[in-house]
Structure 1
Amino acid sequence: MIESEKIELLILRQLSQEISDAEQIVLDNWIRQSDKNRVFYQKQVELFKAQQLIFSKNDIALSRELTKTGVINHLLRKSNKVKNFVYSSLSVMLVGLVVSTLLFNTSIEEKNRLLAGEFKIVAPANSPASFDLPDGTKVMLNAASELVYSYNAASNSRLASIEGEAFFNVAHDKKNAFLVEGYQHTVKVYGTEFNMKSNSQLKQCEVTLREGSVGILNTAHQEVARLEPGQQFFLNKEGNAKIQAVAHMNEVTDWTTGRYEFKDATLEEIAATLSDLYGVNIVIQDEVLRNKRYRCVIQKEQSVLKTLQRFSIITNLDYEINNELITLKQK
């Protein structure tokens, strides 16, 4: 008997149009062995097509591993709208997804079953991701960030949590709020555009509103602030929170186009961004330098070496490269 893992891989390769003639023969023989095998195969094809429609129709390159429940584990996508941004490592833990074209041909119970569940999307270092959630919300996930999304069909609740940075264009829904959890705070929205950064290691949370209105909730789910367009909520590692006006919104959202601008940012914050952006480990040799503040602009299209050279000139800092470890130090 062929191992289930091998069959799952063969189905993946066939749906991704990467299967060889020999592998196709093995798969065909397995499908013909029993009705159970045929039903399993058909189910995977239907789920695969549903996932394609949900996440985009733009130049999709797909790759997936099937879990024991037959749900897609990995989906790779290249978006035409965001050149060179690769959507990768979509880890689906327990989710059945469906699109509007499917909803017309299924019962309410079946629709709820398919939508209910939770999944996690991970954007690896050097690979920001752009995707649509099942409710229509558009998300741009920065490199080395992850988002967990869940939908409760019984209460129609939409809940996401983020570690890293993401830009949200939330689908409008007056009745059902969209909640995004971050470090010690949650954002409550009904339909809006905002940028959110959450870093549990740095103990920071930042929410910047571009359009609409959002409420900031504390750990007790009490609203502690209400933002208007052009305002930013910021919680620093000392636990102090403030609301401030953002003079230039592009300084916050330019990362979605590969441009990262820092104004009065600590070296620790800049180093963390460089690490996520280029997939390298960066250490700061002198502890005093960690909280020193700098102004600079980083272009993702530039190599890490060129970025370090420019950064060294601007900041008067030196750097040392040892394989994938970069050390920043005083000249």
Structure 2
Amino acid sequence: MARAVGRRRPSGAPGHRRQGRAAYVFLSPWLLGLALVTAVPLGASLYLAFTDYNILSTPRFTGFANFERMLGDDRFWAAASVTARYVFISVPLQLAFALLLAVVLDRGLRGLAFYRGAFYLPSLLGASVAVAILWREAFGHNGLVNSVLGWVGIEGQSWLQNPATALSTLIVLNVWTFGSPMVIFLAGLRQVPEELYEAARVDGASWYRRFRHITVPMLTPIIFFNLILQTIGAFQTFTQAHIISGGTGGPVDSTLFYTLYVYQQGFKSFDMGYASALAWVLLLVIGGVTALHFFLSKYWVFYGDD
């Protein structure tokens, strides 16, 4: 009887095989979606990146011609410049603003759940068409922004029609969607041991010194996490620029985001081969920037066992 109780079932027993089949059944929707929605289109776009394909004709293999074409494409460089400025200006501002609000909310305000939900709402709506239209109206010549400036005696301008300020309105829109990183920062602040702050207060450390030497170092893994997510999202920004510029990237290509240029080449000019090559360059750039972030993180991100 003791031998029967202590006997192990062989690894290839029918029960294990049934569990394995059940696991594959439950995983099959995800595996099917990965194959049909991700893997197959990804492979097709990689092939098309080396072809001349306008949808109406059969793809013609051209080697690296599409990538060589980018080197002399002024609009490609304009789109790359606009996107780089947008990413490297808006993301740090957004994270700084989100961290500031998280620190304020962490001080124990009444109605914290309400403020947290109210501040998070823009992150849910920021990429929507409705908010982009609202932003276009607010920054129009007769919009809300100029009306507010008029109350204090400042003459407004056409923010969206001025190449010097059009991109700035989109940067402000991205900063306004600070709710998602703010909630993550707020959760991270709740994990900072209160004993560290108490010891710093006993030593006479000011609020700024406590923030700089305790809060920020303890939050560096959260900052790094938010930085990666928001940087990738900023590189892929499309809806706001498309709605505000009417799909043109104007004025004078000042809001010509890279994704918008890919859309123009693929779905307006029907140059799918060139659009696929552009998309793969974006993928490589995002991968390179993400890898650079991970490489540099060892110099400023501190984990609990460091």
Q: TM-score, normalised by structure 1?
A: 0.22
Decide which structure has the larger Cα Rg and report it.
2
Higher RCO, 1 or 2 (CA under 8 Å, sep at least 6)? 2
Q: TM-score, normalised by structure 2?
A: 0.23
Greater share of strand? 1
Greater share of helix? 2
